[in-house]
Chain A
Amino acid sequence: MDRAKTTTLTGAEIVVRCLQEEGVEYVFGYPGGAVLFIYDELFKQDKVKHVLVRHEQGAVHAADGYSRSSRKVGVALVTSGPGVTNAVTGIATAYMDSIPLVVITGQVPTQAIGLDAFQECDTVGITRPIVKHNFLVKNVADLASTIKKAFHIAATGRPGPVVVDIPKDVTQHACEFHYPDTVHMRSYNPVRKGHAGQIKKAVQLLLDAERPFVYTGGGVVLSDASVELRELVKQLGFPCTNTLMGLGAYPATDRQFLGMLGMHGTYEANMAMQHCDVLLAIGARFDDRVIGNPAHFAQNPRKIVHIDIDPSSISKRVKVDVPIVGNIPDVLEDLLKLLKGSRGKDISAWWKQIDGWRAKDCLRYDRKSPIIKPQFVLEKLYEVTRGEAFVTSDVGQHQMWAAQFYKFNEPRRWINSGGLGTMGFGLPAAMGVQLANRGATVACVTGESSIQMCLQELSTCKQYRLPIKIINLNNKYMGMVRQWQEFFHGNRYSESYMDALPDFVKLAEGYGHRGVLVDKPGDVEPVLREAFAAKNDLVFLDFITDQKENVYPMVPGGKGITEMILYEDL
């Protein structure tokens, strides 16, 4: 039964009360004209803490990082017009990776909407293609129930960002406040249980498999199914891979883990993906960076079981044989029950083949280099943090090396923009991660180009004393762009070289942090140790790395996943 609450509140008070009711700990935001009444109410209470960022993109990324590392819905608050347009990149980033966020946006007063008012934009229109859902609240009486719905929609089913656009006058108007306990929507009822008949078929396929492979994505992380996944994979003795978004769902140091697959996946993971006879895909979507060319992928016959909460992710790029729509932990539990401990066929021949692929040692690099190799920095980062850090990243080569060389044994430790590929994500996301996990070790792996896209957040880190360690792999190039230009554009490095880079050490100091320049391989480990020992300080480590280093293996765009360029080929 709904609790009786019959207080009359203004719209602004309602917004803050709703956030309190939802147990929101942090709101990441930036004030402005249209949200002044909401900010006034935030000022009058201390349950919901506000984190003042330096740019709205940072607010949404921080809320995103907070959510990814805490399992809670992230909340951002921005003003109308430019506040919204600045937030768009963050919203799209969260949408592509299915991250539950509620983004509250101010809007010009209802009577001014459509009149090209100051700081007006069509927020609902602009954000429509990049949200799970959005609302424009025109009547204060609908405000509380809309916010309730927003949290519900964001967190259930396939999660995603929800925008609630609130005109300024609605925040001033008053009405009876009543926060509903439950949400009923006839048009929105996400499934939980998978179809029993389909699960039975899946079990049969798994038990009959001679060359099975388990391929899991972000869905396993988001649905917290990593315990069930580990149990299943261990019991069956199957090899397993994780996508970029799925790293940590299965422990990277386990023998049954073949590493990440895809464009920069390991040789063994990509070969197993292509040559398996039964593929169990869980919470993954066969995207272009994972299976490359779908026609090439389809050349090898295999049976595919696909478990996902979102029916539209199934048979989108690749036809599957046994689709199972449902919440992954529920489906895996049912699968495990049906398996009753049976192990399936002897697959030692398959493992032998896989070990042969492993012997290629596809991630090797020149360890004797007198110049710092980025891979070496990441290996040392892993050692120094004992694999226990939360690692956020930006986008590019450093992201791929981090995914390859930092061995994630737990889910929700690897925080990156996989779908949209947003440069500038790493630092603000790390702020959210650090706030959600006070006292934990947080590293932001970035490059000299990415870090400059949300650099202003160094100031936020100072204000809230966030002791993030920034691992800047500085090769003076937009590395991934440079790599593509080397491979596919005849070494014409068009606009990918960054001249006039700032002195990052001084820059960090300018923001009140510590900065260290590292240019000798021998200094990498001691400097990392010293930085991570500084529990209370943000330390900006500027590693001057090999400008010519490339990420291997690489599947060129449009190629099949076994058509890899390997280090040894060169």
Chain B
Amino acid sequence: MRHIISILVENEAGALSRIAGLFSARGYNIETLTVAPTEDASMSRMTIVTSGSEDVIEQITKQLNKLIEVVKVIDLSEAEHIERELMLIKVRAGQKEREDMKRMADIFRGRVIDVSDNTYTIELTGDTRKLDAFIQALDQGAIIETVRTGASGIGRGNRVLRV
């Protein structure tokens, strides 16, 4: 099953490779991984989307907690949470396709952020399934380039991850 794991980690050189290395060494899956400093510059927040049985996910959280630089770990998917991912997608948009492409972006609440004679670059935010759906909805031949950040997640309401 798909799980979204949030990690607070000391913002130190090597912390990222320690976490990524743990996943590869123990054969755990990483679907996406995002990381950036928090409002407290001494700490980074990492979101990892992974999949595995309940036993595997339990081991993943335990093994993460064991890393010296990891401050806190939660499995966001255990309860209500929100996740968002950003995608930048460059599509063919010559005279013929322009109208359709713009309309498609509007339907998905995307924004065209760069225009050239024959391309649009569209910015789209949403959960992973929405971004997948947008890609599916496009004429596959029209896609020139996609770049996705991977999911970031946060708990709903009073559910927080902080020190």
Contacts and interface: CB of A to CB of B under 8 A. Distances in A.
Contacts of B25: 129
A187 B14 contact: no
B106 interface: no
B96 interface: no
A185 interface: yes
A128 B68 contact: no
A132 B68 CA distance: 8
Given A129-B21, A315-B58, A136 B65 contact: no
B68 A312 contact: no
Contacts of A129: 21, 25
A316 B55 CA distance: 8
A310 B62 CA distance: 9
Given A128-B18, A133-B68, A312-B66, A187 B10 contact: yes
Given A187-B70, A315-B58, A124 B65 contact: no
Contact of B13 (A128, A136, A185, A186): A136
Interface string B1-35: 00000000110011001100100010000000000
B71 A187 contact: yes
A186 B66 contact: no
A311 interface: yes
B15 to A, nearest CB: 10
B146 interface: no
A311 B62 contact: yes
B107 interface: no
Interface of B is mostly: helix
B62 A312 contact: yes
A187 to B, nearest CB: 4
Contacts of A133: 68
Contacts of B62: 311-312
Contacts of B63: 312
Given A124-B14, A315-B55, A153 B71 contact: no
B79 interface: no
B83 interface: no
Interface in B41-75: 55, 58-59, 62-63, 65-66, 68-71
Nearest to B12: A135
Nearest to B62: A312
Contacts of B133: none
B163 interface: yes
A133 to B, nearest CB: 4
A544 to B, nearest CB: 43
Interface in A155-199: 185-188
B14 A316 contact: no
Given A128-B21, A312-B66, A186 B71 contact: yes
Interface size class, chain B: 20 to 34
A125 B14 CA distance: 8
B68 A188 contact: yes
A186 B65 CA distance: 12
B6 to A, nearest CB: 15
Contact of B17 (A125, A153, A315): A125
B65 A311 contact: yes
A145 B62 CA distance: 27
Interface string A309-345: 0111001100100000000000000000000000000
Nearest to B9: A187
Nearest to B14: A124
B14 A136 contact: yes
B59 A316 contact: yes
Interface in A288-312: 310-312
A47 to B, nearest CB: 29
A345 to B, nearest CB: 33
Nearest to A125: B17
A143 B24 CA distance: 31
Contacts of A128: 14, 17-18, 21
B9 to A, nearest CB: 8
Contacts of B68: 132-133, 153, 185, 187-188
Contacts of A124: 14
A170 to B, nearest CB: 15
Contacts of A188: 68
A311 B25 CA distance: 19
Contacts of A319: 55
Most buried by B among A129, A136, A153: A129
B66 A310 contact: yes
Nearest to B64: A312
Nearest to A138: B13
A136 B13 CA distance: 9
Contact of B163 (A132, A185, A186, A315): A186
A311 B67 CA distance: 12
Nearest to B42: A186
Contacts of B71: 186-187
Contacts of B13: 136
Nearest to B70: A187
A567 B52 CA distance: 43
Contacts of A153: 68
Interface in B61-107: 62-63, 65-66, 68-71
Interface in A491-535: none
A188 B58 CA distance: 19
A125 to B, nearest CB: 7
Contacts of B69: 187
Contacts of B65: 311-312
Interface of A: 124-125, 128-129, 132-133, 136, 153, 185-188, 310-312, 315-316, 319
8 contacts: A128-B14, A129-B25, A133-B68, A136-B13, A185-B68, A186-B71, A311-B65, A312-B65
Interface of B: 9-10, 13-14, 17-18, 21, 25, 55, 58-59, 62-63, 65-66, 68-71, 163
A-B residue pairs, 10 tightest by C-beta: A312-B62, A133-B68, A187-B71, A311-B62, A129-B25, A188-B68, A312-B63, A312-B66, A128-B21, A187-B10
Given A136-B14, A312-B65, A319-B55, 19 more contacts: A124-B14, A128-B14, A128-B17, A129-B21, A129-B25, A133-B68, A136-B13, A185-B68, A186-B163, A187-B9, A187-B69, A187-B70, A187-B71, A311-B62, A311-B65, A312-B59, A312-B63, A312-B66, A315-B58
